[in-house]
């Protein structure tokens, strides 16, 4: 295999908001010579946070693609957002990297997004690195923090450097161990030995040299087993740093460039061919001479240059002017300008090899998770789908100004193209367009972006609860519609009976009319009248369901009977029967799976009980967490995102899906009926 990609490292910075990822990225760019002066997050001058929204918010909202060169190594650094509401955006870039660097704020320790990022790193088999940032801040207990990391994330998390006694500098424990330098934690020798012991465990021959023959091992001898230990999650190096003072940055650069895996050394993402159960894994090799395979992991919509797709080359070579197929398309797209990114800035390049991250603009068909390839041999190739966190907040949206309906549709599709963790639902029964996201902030900033970037103002509302109406007993109804205004009149008479159907059965209509008392051509008119009531409701204005209607008798007039008369008669006869059939309002119930720390379980179950919910079971999870399974009325948990945040400090997540309809409590039903009648 060609050695050209040995100099590439692809690394994602993940971690909770406030851990200092963007400041750390800025420091790495400066230390490597990629920029002349460090920007500051508070001043909105960093390379990474370049959008107006990010500058105003003071934190990252999008993933930024950064790059620098150091030690003859080219590093693609992906700076991701750390707020829980934007974790979907952070997840979406994982197929593009071999390594994940978890950034932890030394003052705050392990936080919710840290745990979620660690789980994703483990699930996606990414090589891991932990960066403890802000080590020189006052009242920081680094020894306890390291113990917490090893206890919660694994004993394989071992320091590669240690803070000095006053934390003003970091002491190397691996490359050139400073054995005689006192540290704030264990000795350098102890940390060095722990690292070597962990690495040689994956290589029996090396272990024999080390243990039995007592030979000292140098970093070049340890390279291959070190990479194997990273791939197998047998080792996660821990690097202490301070982005503010540059302490530990030189050792971090060494670690990124010399120890983290190349595209050929990391665990490749799982590519599949085919769909569903017939999908089979396919081998994708980082060789520039093979067919091209590249994966689109990010899409941005620029008001000036249009759609830009950012992709990672996994196999083959992409060159300016290439004709590539997108997915299963028969017509290729042309790569007119191949771009490298540095925050908001672009530089055109002539070609991209396996491991390279590039972008291409003005190709409207590019979409998230798309696969670019140069041969139909790779048709139907795709990556294993990312399972994004479930939507936890929703808003019904409509254009603030008449005539903007089409623009709203276009802008929504642009938002979803940029952010795959956003979802749009069109609820026909309620005549609502609903935007769903990972939290209230996620939605608020999306609404703000509509106005500031796309010039579209929208009105928002809490989505309507889809109540329904039904009946609980059998009944019969009758109505004679007679109207005479001079000339030909209107006449139609209908007798019908109704009965409840099982929940979810829908609506049935049948005719048992004999003898032509209602001519056959008017039976559809009777059904039309009945369906009008089914749609508009009879007692509270909500659609009806689970009812069987049988028209069995009636009368007609040879002159005055017409369709409109039987529509009216069918409608009124149905309403008559409903009032005798014990009508009720139904409310939707949802099934919920709520995952929280063990200590929050009591608060969760207590709150569910207060909201008419019912716990149906619990499952113990990993990392001291429990999943509560429950059913609850949608009306009581439609704003559950903020409730869960307040009870868990943001360290919880949930999913919900429709379960069934059940009768609404009488007091609430009376309120709905009164509101409709008024």
Q: What is the pLDDT of residues 68-77, one digit of tens each?
A: 999 899 999 9
To 5 degrees, how large is the angle CA 521–CA 525–CA 526?
Answer: 110
Residue 4: pLDDT above 60?
A: no
Q: What is the DSSP string of 183-208?
A: BSSS-HHHHHHHHHHHHHTT-HHHHH
pLDDT band at 505 (very low <50, low <70, confident <90, very high): confident
**CA–CA gap between residue 438 and residue 644 (Å, rounded):** 12
pLDDT value at position 215? Answer: 67
Both structure tokens of 71: 């030690």
300-322: average pLDDT: 91
Residues in the chain: 678
Residue 622: pLDDT above 70?
A: no
pLDDT value at position 50? Answer: 94
pLDDT value at position 610? Answer: 95
pLDDT value at position 315? Answer: 96
For each of the domains in the chain, give its residue range(s) and CATH number, in order of start. Answer: 4-188+233-259 (3.40.50.300), 271-383 (2.40.30.10), 393-461 (3.30.70.870), 469-581 (3.30.230.10), 585-677 (3.30.70.240)
pLDDT value at position 2? Answer: 38
Of 17, 46, 255, 206, which is closest to residue 113 (Cα–Cα)?
Answer: 17
Q: Which residue has the higher pLDDT, 392 or 338?
A: 338
462-490: average pLDDT: 89
Of 232, 228, 195, 230, which is closest to residue 210 (Cα–Cα)?
Answer: 195
Residue 301: pLDDT above 90?
A: no
611-619: average pLDDT: 93
pLDDT band at 623 (very low <50, low <70, confident <90, very high): low
Q: Are 535 and 543 in contact (CB under 8 A)?
A: yes
pLDDT over 70 percentage in the chain: 98
Both structure tokens of 405: 């309906």
DSSP class of residue 438 equals S
398-404: average pLDDT: 94
CB atoms within 10 A of CB 293: 25
pLDDT value at position 487? Answer: 67
**CA–CA gap between residue 447 and residue 435 (Å, rounded):** 10
pLDDT value at position 486? Answer: 67
Q: What is the DSSP string of 4-58?
A: GGGGEEEEEEE--TTS-HHHHHHHHHHHTTS-SS---GGGT--SS--SHHHHHHT
DSSP class of residue 600 equals G
Both structure tokens of 618: 């619990």
Q: Which residue has the tokens 């519609």?
A: 481
pLDDT digits (tens, 9 = 90+) for 31-67: 999 999 999 999 999 999 999 999 998 999 999 999 9
Of 521, 533, 623, which is closest to residue 570 (Cα–Cα)?
Answer: 533
Q: Which residue has the higher pLDDT, 105 or 111?
A: 105
**CA–CA gap between residue 431 and residue 60 (Å, rounded):** 35
Q: Are 393 and 436 in contact (CB under 8 A)?
A: yes
365-384: average pLDDT: 91
pLDDT digits (tens, 9 = 90+) for 478-500: 999 998 776 678 999 999 999 99
Residue 1: pLDDT above 50?
A: no
Both structure tokens of 417: 């193209």
pLDDT value at position 389? Answer: 79
pLDDT value at position 651? Answer: 84
Q: Which residue has the tokens 């041969």?
A: 375
317-324: average pLDDT: 95
Residue 512: pLDDT above 60?
A: yes
pLDDT digits (tens, 9 = 90+) for 545-592: 999 999 999 999 888 889 999 999 999 999 999 999 999 999 989 888
Alpha helices in 429-522 (DSSP H): 440-452
**CA–CA gap between residue 395 and residue 408 (Å, rounded):** 14
Residue 3: pLDDT above 90?
A: no
**CA–CA gap between residue 405 and residue 555 (Å, rounded):** 47
**CA–CA gap between residue 626 and residue 645 (Å, rounded):** 16
pLDDT over 90 percentage in the chain: 73
CB atoms within 10 A of CB 219: 13
Residue 250: pLDDT above 70?
A: yes
Q: Which residue has the higher pLDDT, 305 or 110?
A: 110
506-528: average pLDDT: 94
Q: pTM above the 0.85 mark?
A: no
Torsion, CA 282, CA 283, CA 289, CA 295, rounded to 10: 60
Q: What is the CA radius of gyration of the chain?
A: 32
598-625: average pLDDT: 89
């Amino acid at each position: 295999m060609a050695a050209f990609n040995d100099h590439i490292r692809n690394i994602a910075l993940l971690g909770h908001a406030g851990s200092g990822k963007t400041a750390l990225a800025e420091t790495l760019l400066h230390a490597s010579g990629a920029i002349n002066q460090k920007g500051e997050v508070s001043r909105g001058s960093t390379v990474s946070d370049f959008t107006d929204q990010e500058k105003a918010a003071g934190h990252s909202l999008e993933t930024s693609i950064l790059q620098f060169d150091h030690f003859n190594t080219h590093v693609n650094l992906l700076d991701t957002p750390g707020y829980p509401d934007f974790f979907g955006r952070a997840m979406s870039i994982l197929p593009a990297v071999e390594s994940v660097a978890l950034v932890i704020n030394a003052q705050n320790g392990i936080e919710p997004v840290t745990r979620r990022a660690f789980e994703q790193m483990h699930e996606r088999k990414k090589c891991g690195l932990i960066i403890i940032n802000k080590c020189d801040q006052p009242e920081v207990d680094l020894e306890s923090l390291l113990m917490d990391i090893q206890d919660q994330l694994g004993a394989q998390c071992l320091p590669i450097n240690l803070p000095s006694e006053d934390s003003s500098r970091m002491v190397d424990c691996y490359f050139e161990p400073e054995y005689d330098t006192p540290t704030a934690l264990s000795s350098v020798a102890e940390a060095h030995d722990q690292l070597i012991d962990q690495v040689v465990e994956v290589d029996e021959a090396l272990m024999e040299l080390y243990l039995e023959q007592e030979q000292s091992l140098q970093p070049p001898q340890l390279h291959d087993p070190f990479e194997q230990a990273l791939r197998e999650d047998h080792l996660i190096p821990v690097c202490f740093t301070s982005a503010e003072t540059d302490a530990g940055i030189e050792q971090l650069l060494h670690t990124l460039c010399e120890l983290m895996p190349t595209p050929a050394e990391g665990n490749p993402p799982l590519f599949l061919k085919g769909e569903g159960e017939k999908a089979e894994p396919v081998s994708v090799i980082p060789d520039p001479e093979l067919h091209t395979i590249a994966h689109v992991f990010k899409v941005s919509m620029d008001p000036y240059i249009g759609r830009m797709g950012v992709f990672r080359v996994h196999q083959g070579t992409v060159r300016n002017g290439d004709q590539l197929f997108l997915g299963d398309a028969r017509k290729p797209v042309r790569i007119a300008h191949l771009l490298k990114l540095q925050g908001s800035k672009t530089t055109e390049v002539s070609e991209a090899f396996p491991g390279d991250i590039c972008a291409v603009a003005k190709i409207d068909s590019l979409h998230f998770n798309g696969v670019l390839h140069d041969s139909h041999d790779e048709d139907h190739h795709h990556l294993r789908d990312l399972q994004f966190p479930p939507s936890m907040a929703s808003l019904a949206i409509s254009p603030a100004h008449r005539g903007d309906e089409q623009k709203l549709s276009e802008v929504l599709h642009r938002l979803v193209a940029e952010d795959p963790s956003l979802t749009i639902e069109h609820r026909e029964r309620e005549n609502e367009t609903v935007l769903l996201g990972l939290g209230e902030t996620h939605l608020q900033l999306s609404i703000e972006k509509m106005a500031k970037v796309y010039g579209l103002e929208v009105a928002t509302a809490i989505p309507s609860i889809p109540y329904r109406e039904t009946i609980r007993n059998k009944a019969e109804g009758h109505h004679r519609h007679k109207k005479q205004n001079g000339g030909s009149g209107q006449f139609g008479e209908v007798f019908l009976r109704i009965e409840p159907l099982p929940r979810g059965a829908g609506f049935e209509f049948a005719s048992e009319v004999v003898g032509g008392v209602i001519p056959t051509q008017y039976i559809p008119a009777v059904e039309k009248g009945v369906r009008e009531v089914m749609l508009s409701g009879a007692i509270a204005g909500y659609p009806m369901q689970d009812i069987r209607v049988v028209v069995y008798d009636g009368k007609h007039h040879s002159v005055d009977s017409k369709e409109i008369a039987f529509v009216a008669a069918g409608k009124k006869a149905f309403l008559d029967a409903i009032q005798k059939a014990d009508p009720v309002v139904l409310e939707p119930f949802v099934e919920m799976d709520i995952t929280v720390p063990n200590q929050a379980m009591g608060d969760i179950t207590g709150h569910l009980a207060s909201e008419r919910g019912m716990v149906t079971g619990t499952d113990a999870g990993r990392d001291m967490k429990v999943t509560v399974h429950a059913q609850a009325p949608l009306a009581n948990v439609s704003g559950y995102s903020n409730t869960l945040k307040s009870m868990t400090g943001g360290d919880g997540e949930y999913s919900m899906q429709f379960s069934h309809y059940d009768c609404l409590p009488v007091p609430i039903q009376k309120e709905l009926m009164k509101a409709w009648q008024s």
